[in-house]
Amino acid sequence: MRFLTAILFLSLLSTGICCAVEILSAQQDPQAKNYAHDFKTRTTEERESIVLTLYQTGDTGAVPVLIEALKDVWSDIRCTAANALGNIGPAAKDAVPALIQELKDMNENVKSCAAKALIKIGKPAVPASAEALRVKNAWSVLRCATAQILGEIGDTSAVPALIEASKEENVEEGDVRCAAVTALGNIGDKSSLKVLIYVMKNDESEEVRTAAKKAINEINSKIGIKKTKK
């Protein structure tokens, strides 16, 4: 048991998920639902221990305190909280808005943890992610991240929002269009082929046109059509 616990700790440390903290029991914590009301008043060490324990247990009752932990001043705690929510999966759907906010975190590791958590939550994360993508005056990095997340989740309900983003005329949003067409290729829905062909032929950005061509070929390969040469 000690050996397995040590392996888990080293794995978490190597990916920057948490600092060195005392690992608590991996059993489901009956106090998980009660942590939220005083989480902010606990010491840093206590907060670290709580989120690490909840990361291990995957307790669905821990979602409220993990949402609170996403606001923590320490990036390691925010990242571990995001990973814990990802472990919970679709049952952590109430955390989706907070995780989307964490895609704007100044810490790159936290942003990565939040994105991975949203992907693990899956389909319940699609509506809010699609809505974030549709906000045209939002930070382009956030919009690119949500497009990539939608592509990784792979649910066809995201296709309309991705098509909208792929057709935006603002030249400065080339990165967003590129992320959107790439996501459409990942999803592989043939209903997006018409738009992708248009983008491939007409977009002002060579990078976007190349991404559209790749997306077309990915979709075609799934439905048994030869690669696009032009």
Across the range 156-175, mean pLDDT stands at 89
Query: CA-CA distance, 103 to 226, in Å (whole number)?
Result: 37
- Residues 117, 77, 6: CA angle, nearest 5 degrees: 90
The reported pTM is: 0.81
24, 155, 178 from 29: Cα distances, Å: 10, 33, 44
Q: Given this chain, do its domains 1-121 and 126-230 carry the same CATH topology?
A: yes
Q: What long-range pairs does 154-159 form, CB within 8 A, spacing at least 24?
A: 154/186, 154/187, 154/188, 155/122, 155/123, 155/126, 155/187, 156/187, 156/189, 157/123, 157/126, 157/127, 157/130, 158/126, 158/129, 158/130, 158/183, 158/187, 159/184, 159/187, 159/189, 159/191, 159/192
The top-level CATH class assigned to 1-121 is mainly alpha
Mean per-residue pLDDT of the chain: 85
pLDDT at residue 113 tops 80: yes
% of the chain surpassing 90 pLDDT: 70
What is the Cα–Cα distance from 80 to 207, expressed in whole angstroms?
35
Every domain of the chain and the residues it spans:
1-121, 126-230
- The model's confidence at residue 22, banded by pLDDT at 50, 70 and 90, is very low
CATH 1.20.1260.10 fits 126-230, yes or no: no
Each residue of 67-80: pLDDT tens digit?
999 999 999 999 99
